[in-house]
Chains A and B, each alone.
Chain A
Amino acid sequence: MKFDQPAGINPIDRGRVIGIPHDRIDGAAKVTGTAPYAYERHDAAPNAAYGWIVGSAIAKGRIAAMDLRAAEGAPGVLGVVTHANAGKLGKGSMNTAPLLGGPQIDHYEQAVALVIADTFENARDAAKLVRIDYVADAGKYDLAAESIRGVMPPDSFGSPADSKVGDFDSGFAAAAVTVDQRYTTPDHSHAMMEPHATTAAWNGDRLTLWTSNQMIDWGVGEVAKTLGIPRANVRLVSPYIGGGFGSKLFVRADAVLAALGAKRVGRPVKVAIARHQIPNNTTHRPATIQRIRIGADKHGLIDAIGHEVWSGDLPGGGPETAAMQTRLLYRGPNRMTAHRLVTLNLPEGNAMRAPGEAVGLLALEVAMDELAEACGVDPVELRIRNDVQYDPEAGPQRPFSSRKLVECLRAGADRFGWAKRNPKPGQVRDGRWLVGMGVAAAFRNNVAMKSGARIGVDGAGRVIVETDMTDIGTGSYTIIGQTAAEMLGVTLDQVTVRLGDSRFPASAGSGGQWGANSSTAGVYAAAMALRAMLAEKAGYPADQAQFDDGLVKLGNQSQTLASLAGREGLWAEDSIDFGDLDKRYAQATFGAHFCEVGVDIDTAEIRIRRMGGAFAAGRILNPKSARSQVIGAMTMGVGAALMEALDVDTRFGFFVNHDMAEYLVPVHADIPPQDVLFIEELDDKSSPMKAKGVGELGICGAGAAVANAIYNATGIRLRDYPLTIDKLLKAQAA
């Protein structure tokens, strides 16, 4: 189905199953431990041996010699895979460094060997016996020091690295009020619960990978390319995923090495990347340095806005696109954005939940707070004044498909009690706490991706959906089931949803918050085809048939789905293919975050007291799981504001705090009650579902609201994330 015109009224608008809060249909399996994850596929590969990855001890250089004898002779060892015996390997187009390193070493902890043994313990033990002589080269690990050598990177996702509208320099120079500040954000680790893990088995030249991957169709292609085998010989199965946040968008060392290991030892092999290896072996969100300049008139109306970003990656890698939202969020005739990419020999940077916006807004939305103060305008009001209903770079001919930022700001402010905020910082005391409130806008671009599905009715009238879409904890099973139920007029418990298998039609996958809208639109397309088939079988005109209560109806005639499907069942397959509506209209999701913090007057300990937000993201398919997504993302925003940081050792070129005891993410005690309001919105230009993504919107701006609240509480403006006790104390003392 081609989607190139705005959606009209369609069966989804009935809203009997869609838009109603539902428990996850996979919830019981997950909480009872019966949902099998990739490393637990004893059912599928009962004979699996265990692989343990050996990671490079240097960040840059090469392997001079490897001695495998001790490892190979250790108890239970079945084989060792290295670059020397793995055969010629390709590199996935989405990987920057090879997943099996050697002789060249590209980053610390890059996999250089897989030791396979009969037990996990034997494999891990023997891995320590692999002797490697390295020749280390000098590398570059310090973003700040290297930033002068930044170059303009190629386009990312079709967007150029730089943009210019009007005359920024003159506009900024002439502005009555200006803000010109530098902000930094550190490297972040995804820190999802389930590590990267794969069980691999060969059947002749056919490979099956039970793995933990967000993007099945990409994954199939990348595995085929890396191993040099036909796509058709690769099957990926990933029905349950314990979180990904972008780190599982790409095939990683677990998958490739499990496949190579299984080949080498002639039996299935499973590999998990150990927790302490994850931060340096896999991808991370790159650190940024950002400069923001905003010029406005004395009422806060923006005349010039500029955002420059420096980030680093391995040679051949890409930038953190942190200035992208600045092209779209606020008005202003004179504009510039620029991304500069620096070569660093740290582990590979890549997407993490809301790449670009998540850290871009940590800077932009603090700069807006600074502008509000400089103009003496309330920060909520300042954002409302600078709202723009069209793409401000392209002009009024490219309006937003829907944009309810102002509604979010107003409704959110109301619910939060924003009016009680004292605009003068450092004034409000509650016992040992200095109390402050902050606001930030939330913005995340909406992306739609082609997505396919197969849908059928079996002889019992049960509806079955199959698509390679993944559920990374987000609730895809449930919204896909809801969509099928709505389209075919059955209840959710009459639908079976099967996901995450490359034998199913290729979907949008889970990434960039495009999954929910795109994959359900794909199910919509397939369901429209099935409805036509069912109507035809019933002898009803397809455009007049009604689908209710398990019946296909025309006037007062009706036939059951079961009888129409017959014993064989009836199946349809289609995909949704998006036209150029996203070119004609800017499509994005919006929101407003509010936060109240307390800062200890003596120790500078920071505690969040309340958080609230209002969000407009098109039709909310399942308000229950959408809320979970948003509060989870707000929590991650708190992490980015207050504690998350991979510490770079610029001598050895690695992330030092590479386990969960040292890389801190928020715990329950850090997170107060969180209030989430969804503003009603249907976006008929986004898809037939009229939905947009919501999985990333919640992190966008959340941390800036925290930062602004800290400023309101203390009068201290910190611009280097995370905002920790030591920085607050030093700023106070200065």
Chain B
Amino acid sequence: MKSFTYERATSVQAAAKAAASVQGARFIAGGTNLLDLMKLQIETPTHLIDVNHLGLDRIEETPEGGLRIGALVRNTDLAADKRVRRDYAVLSRALVAGASGQLRNKATTGGNLLQRTRCPYFYDTRMPCNKRQPGSGCGAMQGMSRSLAILGVSDACIAQHPSDMAVAMRLLDSAVDTIDANGATRSIPIADFHLLPGDTPQRETLLKPGEMITAVTLPKPIGGAHVYRKVRDRASYAFALVSVAAVFGKDGTARFAFGGIGAKPWRVAAADAAAKQGPKAVAEAALTGARTTHHNDFKKLLVERTLASLYRQQEARA
């Protein structure tokens, strides 16, 4: 970990301003991802801006009938919120499927969206990795890639986006609210928020330098049966091999989002449109353009099987 300076921001606006004016500055929220990366010098910020005390830890109802989740709301608190459990159960379920109790107590909404990949080559600074060190090559593609992505990948990088929470937020058509150094705010649809790797896997989101997440807004509830199914190598405390967030309507319609398989939380309109044709058709639509390695090609079948399992459970309930 390189030496760094630290400040506790006094306001949201001041935080954004400081972030833009100090070269190499970073926000720190729960620190559960950033600090690990700093210890390994995968990230080397020169200045940390602590945004934990800015009153961004509230969940408020919006005039549109949705919820506005402050960027510093802890994963534990968000999952336990009564309104979330009632109206956005898929989000609550996705959250508790992630990490461990201790980590969720620290982890924040904004930090979770921005957590970086778990590609093991990204984590070993002696290995080539285009995301960590642009132009150095990709260690994973010809190496161990079992956990990595099969959708949205590029020749430069096949890293997966590891978040569970973000998959549910993608399903719910959330928006990410931000503020920049000039005090300008914007609301970015989550579909656009994360970038695909292309030739620049080091660029992961639309955020401009210094731009800070203030909240995630959920539109008004959509009803339906909410499920989140995470398939992994042990029963708890592991990242997804494949996860599926779904909301099933009474009329046989459904919407789906996928984790563990995409360079970003994955959702395709064609998959939702295929809902009535069953799991095979949904999987086929979702997996269009999939690009696998011989280590992770099983994920295609696992997507289909996970969907089949969800359909089976829906039928059992009906």
Chain A positions near chain B (C-beta within 8 angstroms) = 57, 75, 121, 124-125, 128, 276, 432, 600-605, 607, 642-643, 647, 649, 651-652, 656-659, 661-662, 664, 666-670, 724-726, 729-730, 733
Contacts and interface: CB of A to CB of B under 8 A. Distances in A.
B22 interface: no
Interface in B267-318: 298, 301-302, 305-306, 308-309, 312-313
6 contacts: A603-B231, A642-B233, A662-B120, A725-B302, A726-B146, A729-B305
Contact of A667 (B142, B146, B235, B313): B235
A670 B123 contact: no
Contacts of A664: 233-234, 238
Interface in B1-15: 1-3
A578 B301 CA distance: 58
A726 B302 contact: yes
Given A124-B1, A276-B40, A664-B238, A643 B233 contact: yes
SS of A interface (majority): loop
A48 B60 CA distance: 51
A725 B309 contact: no
Contact of A730 (B123, B239, B298): B298
Contact of A669 (B118, B235, B239, B306): B235
B41 interface: yes
Nearest to B147: A662
Given A125-B1, A725-B302, 8 more contacts: A124-B39, A649-B144, A656-B144, A661-B118, A662-B120, A670-B236, A729-B302, A729-B305
Most chain B beta-carbon contacts within 10 A, residue among A57, A603, A667, A670: A603
Contacts of B231: 603, 605, 725
B127 interface: yes
Size category of the B interface is 35 or more
A726 B41 contact: no
A642 to B, nearest CB: 7
Contact of B233 (A668, A669, A725): A725
B143 interface: yes
Contact of B309 (A600, A670, A726, A730): A600
B126 interface: yes
B118 A662 contact: yes
Nearest to B229: A603
A602 B308 contact: yes
B241 interface: yes
B182 to A, nearest CB: 35
B297 to A, nearest CB: 9
Nearest to A602: B309
B305 A603 contact: yes
Contacts of A124: 1, 39
Contacts of A666: 234
Contacts of B146: 647, 726
Most chain B beta-carbon contacts within 10 A, residue among A652, A656, A724, A729: A656
Nearest to B41: A128
B43 to A, nearest CB: 13
Contact of A607 (B41, B235, B312): B235
Contacts of B235: 607, 667, 669-670
A232 B105 CA distance: 51
Contacts of B238: 664
SS of B interface (majority): loop
Contact of A656 (B120, B237, B309, B312): B120
A729 B1 contact: no
A668 B121 CA distance: 28
B127 to A, nearest CB: 7
A670 B144 contact: no
The 10 closest A-B pairs by CB, nearest first: A669-B235, A602-B309, A726-B298, A669-B236, A57-B126, A602-B305, A647-B144, A602-B308, A656-B144, A670-B235
B138 to A, nearest CB: 12
Nearest to B128: A652
A646 B111 CA distance: 30
Nearest to A728: B298
B124 interface: yes
A238 B316 CA distance: 58
A471 to B, nearest CB: 28
A319 B306 CA distance: 41
A725 B260 CA distance: 14
B120 A642 contact: no
Contacts of B234: 642-643, 664, 666-667, 669-670
Contacts of B302: 603, 725-726, 729
Contacts of A669: 234-237
B305 A657 contact: no
A604 B231 CA distance: 9
A420 B50 CA distance: 60
A604 B306 CA distance: 9
A604 to B, nearest CB: 7
Contacts of B139: 649, 652
Contacts of A75: 3
B306 A657 contact: no
Contacts of B301: 729-730, 733
Interface in B97-144: 118, 120-121, 123-124, 126-127, 139, 142-144
A658 B305 contact: no
Nearest to A660: B237
A658 B120 CA distance: 8
A526 to B, nearest CB: 45
B312 A602 contact: yes
Most chain A beta-carbon contacts within 10 A, residue among B40, B233, B302: B233
B298 A658 contact: no
B38 to A, nearest CB: 10
A503 to B, nearest CB: 37
B237 A667 contact: yes
Contacts of A658: 120, 124
B92 to A, nearest CB: 18
Contacts of B142: 651
Contacts of A661: 118, 239
A434 to B, nearest CB: 13
Contacts of A128: 41
A666 B302 CA distance: 22
B89 to A, nearest CB: 20
Most chain A beta-carbon contacts within 10 A, residue among B3, B39, B231, B298: B298
Given A656-B120, A725-B241, A667 B236 contact: yes
Given A729-B301, A730-B298, A657 B144 contact: yes
B306 A602 contact: yes
A128 B124 CA distance: 13
A216 to B, nearest CB: 32
Interface in B206-253: 231, 233-239, 241
Contacts of B126: 57
Nearest to B100: A667
Contacts of A659: 123
B258 to A, nearest CB: 14
A733 B297 CA distance: 13
A519 to B, nearest CB: 35
A733 B231 CA distance: 18
Contacts of A724: 233
Contacts of A668: 236
Most chain A beta-carbon contacts within 10 A, residue among B120, B234, B309: B234
B185 to A, nearest CB: 35
